[in-house]
């Protein structure tokens, strides 16, 4: 029985050698963690005929695209995949079960099951209860190793418990410190990635410093404090370059496309933002109507009142009147489960909207990509200094305690949501974030050169 395995990286070798009861392989995205999971699973199956291994991920499509397709090809000579029972059966009797667990409600399917070794890929997407329940399946009266291997990126609902057990090592009664081991993976540990996807590190570099540190360097302490840390409302000079997001208003050329983004609120703030987009795709927040703080706009404006005001502004303002305005809004305004949908009120006034894409993390990434400065100090979004509520609220937002890559929704996030819907309606490719603050000590872009001749078999 011959199986040719590729060359593992040094960090992957550490992972393959690990024998603790609980092993977390964590850190940067793209560090080669899922790859190491498959390699370890294969090695265990070959070394221990009859062993029962399980690989868990949040959803079946992820399991398939990340693991099943790859394993089917890699194991063609030694195992068959049975799609009904979702398992790889080796000719020596070993088995790898592929299991998805989308919600804690699905945990019952793990009860009464026994495995020798379980891999939880992307463990930070699971709750602590899910981790406990899935780990409890590792038992059985045989001489096979009994272990739980986790892979994890900082962020996600499980950020807290993974950090507690493996980074901070703050144990509760009943948890034995000697059972837990952590291996930090960095994107720079995966030379194969630099070859197959040289833009990967570049995409990560387009993020603001904290997110970049979390994902590129695997730093677990960063999801704390200001969410839009890259936002510059006061200009900063670096040499002859000026970094700012806030500028003096100027006359908008008639040819520029105008967008309107809307976050609904009644009894809480609402936000209407008008954006002008130039021929390079650069956006300018030119006008804003915000339902709080400004003296003339009450919190208690009904939807009708809000849309009347929008219609009036668009009829009268010289930048907007006669223009074909593309609207995007909070998708909840289409909800008609409790009577008339709010969108009906808008449509009665001929104000049209498309439902905004509410994928939050992807949306925040788009906001970050737009805010990133290029080599000349130019972001892809500017804010006219007259849009006070945007400029006031954006820097106040902080990271969520429960969902670390998201922002804390207890904050005044109405403009931010509106900004996010706008960005998702015109997504841009990430650009290299350029800030004088942050030069990475070990620039991953050098990898391409350094590992230019890297080959593996």
Ligand X SMILES: Nc1ncnc2c1ncn2[C@@H]1O[C@H](COP(=O)(O)OP(=O)(O)OP(=O)(O)O)[C@@H](O)[C@H]1O
Least distance in angstroms from the C-beta of 29 to ligand X: 4
Q: Is 190 in the site for ligand X (CB under 6 A)?
A: yes
| Contact region with ligand X (CB under 6 A), list: 187-195, 225-233, 337-345, 385-393 | 187-195
User: How many Cβ atoms sit within 10 Å of the Cβ of residue 176?
Assistant: 9
Least distance in angstroms from the C-beta of 215 to ligand X: 8
* Size of site (CB under 6 A) for ligand X: 18
Q: Pick the binder of ligand X from 15, 22, 35, 383 (CB under 6 A).
A: 35
* Torsion sign across C-alpha atoms 346, 348, 352, 358: positive
Strand 52-57 relative to strand 95-100: parallel, antiparallel, unpaired? parallel
Q: Is 214 in the site for ligand X (CB under 6 A)?
A: no
| Contact region with Mg ion (CB under 5 A), list: 28-36, 160-168, 282-290, 411-419 | 28-36
Q: Is 431 in the site for ligand X (CB under 6 A)?
A: no
Q: Is 34 in the site for Mg ion (CB under 5 A)?
A: yes
Q: Is 154 in the site for ligand X (CB under 6 A)?
A: no
* φ, ψ (nearest 5 deg) of residue 272: -120, 120
Query: Cβ neighbours of residue 48 under 8 Å, at least 6 residues apart?
Result: 94, 116, 144, 145
193 binds, among Mg ion, ligand X, none (CB under 5 to 8 A by kind): ligand X
Least distance in angstroms from the C-beta of 25 to ligand X: 8
Q: How far apart are CA 420 and CA 225, in angstroms?
A: 19
Tally DSSP H helices, then E strands, for the chain.
15, 17
Order of strands, sheet of 79-82, starting from the edge strand that comes earlier in the sequence: 79-82, 87-90, 95-100, 52-57, 117-120, 147-152, 22-27, 180-185
User: How many Cβ atoms sit within 10 Å of the Cβ of residue 63?
Assistant: 20
Nearest CB to ligand X, comparing residues 151 and 418? 151
Burial 69-81 (b: 16+ CB within 10 A, else e): eebeebbeebbeb
Least distance in angstroms from the C-beta of 207 to ligand X: 14
Q: Is 67 in the site for ligand X (CB under 6 A)?
A: no
366 binds, among ligand X, Mg ion, none (CB under 5 to 8 A by kind): none
Q: Is 34 in the site for ligand X (CB under 6 A)?
A: yes
Using CB under 6 A as the criterion, what x/- string covers residues 134-153 for binding ligand X?
-------------------x
* Strand ranges for 168-225 from DSSP E: 180-185
* φ, ψ (nearest 5 deg) of residue 271: -135, 130
Q: Pick the binder of ligand X from 32, 208, 291, 430 (CB under 6 A).
A: 32
Q: How far apart are CA 162 and CA 149, in angstroms?
A: 12
Q: How far apart are CA 407 and CA 400, in angstroms?
A: 5
Q: Is 192 in the site for ligand X (CB under 6 A)?
A: yes
| Contact region with ligand X (CB under 6 A), list: 191-199, 284-292, 341-349, 410-418 | 191-199
9 binds, among Mg ion, ligand X, none (CB under 5 to 8 A by kind): ligand X
Question: Using CB under 5 A as the criterion, which residues of the chain lie in contact with Mg ion when the complex forms?
Answer: 33-34
Question: Using CB under 6 A as the criterion, which residues of the chain lie in contact with ligand X when the complex forms?
Answer: 6-9, 12, 29-35, 153, 190, 192-193, 196, 456
């Amino acid at each position: 029985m011959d199986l040719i395995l590729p060359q593992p990286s040094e960090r992957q070798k550490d992972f393959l050698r690990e024998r603790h009861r609980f092993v977390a392989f964590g850190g940067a995205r793209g560090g080669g963690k899922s790859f190491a999971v498959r390699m370890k699973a294969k090695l265990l199956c070959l070394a221990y005929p009859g062993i029962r291994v399980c690989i868990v991920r949040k959803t079946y499509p992820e399991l398939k695209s990340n693991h099943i397709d790859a394993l089917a090809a890699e194991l063609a000579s030694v195992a068959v995949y049975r799609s009904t029972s979702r398992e790889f059966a080796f000719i020596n009797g070993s088995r790898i079960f592929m299991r998805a667990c989308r919600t804690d409600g699905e945990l019952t399917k793990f009860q009464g099951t026994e495995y020798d070794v379980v891999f939880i890929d992307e463990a930070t997407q699971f709750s602590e209860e899910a981790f406990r329940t899935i780990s409890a399946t590792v038992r059985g009266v045989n001489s096979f190793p009994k272990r739980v291997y986790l892979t994890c990126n900082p962020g996600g609902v499980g950020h807290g418990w993974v950090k507690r057990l493996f980074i901070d090592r703050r144990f509760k009664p009943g948890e034995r410190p000697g059972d837990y081991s952590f291996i930090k993976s960095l994107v720079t540990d995966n030379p194969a990635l630099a070859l197959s996807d040289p833009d990967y590190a570049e995409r990560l570099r387009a993020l603001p410093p904290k997110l970049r540190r979390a994902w590129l360097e695997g730093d677990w302490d960063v999801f704390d404090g200001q969410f839009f840390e890259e936002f510059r409302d006061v200009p900063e000079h670096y040499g002859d370059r000026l970094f700012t997001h806030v500028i003096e208003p100027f006359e908008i050329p008639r040819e520029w496309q105008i967008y309107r983004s809307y976050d609904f609120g009644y009894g809480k703030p609402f936000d209407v933002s008008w954006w002008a987009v130039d021929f390079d795709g650069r956006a300018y927040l030119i006008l804003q109507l915000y339902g709080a703080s400004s003296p003339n706009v009450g919190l208690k404006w009904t939807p009708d009142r809000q849309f009347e005001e929008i219609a009036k502004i668009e009829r009268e303002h010289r930048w907007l009147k006669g223009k074909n305005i593309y609207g995007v809004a909070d998708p909840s305004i289409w909800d008609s489960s409790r009577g008339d949908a709010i969108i009906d009120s808008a449509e009665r006034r001929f104000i049209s909207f498309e439902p905004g894409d509410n994928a939050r993390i992807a949306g925040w990434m788009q906001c970050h990509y737009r805010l990133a400065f290029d080599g000349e100090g130019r972001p892809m979004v500017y804010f006219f200094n007259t849009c006070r509520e945007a400029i006031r609220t954006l820097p106040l937002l902080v990271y969520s305690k429960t969902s670390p890559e998201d922002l804390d929704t207890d904050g005044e996030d109405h403009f931010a949501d509106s900004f996010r819907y706008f960005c998702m309606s015109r997504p841009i490719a990430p650009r290299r974030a350029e800030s004088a603050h942050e030069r990475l000590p070990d620039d991953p872009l050098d990898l391409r050169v350094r590992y230019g001749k890297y080959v593996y078999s």
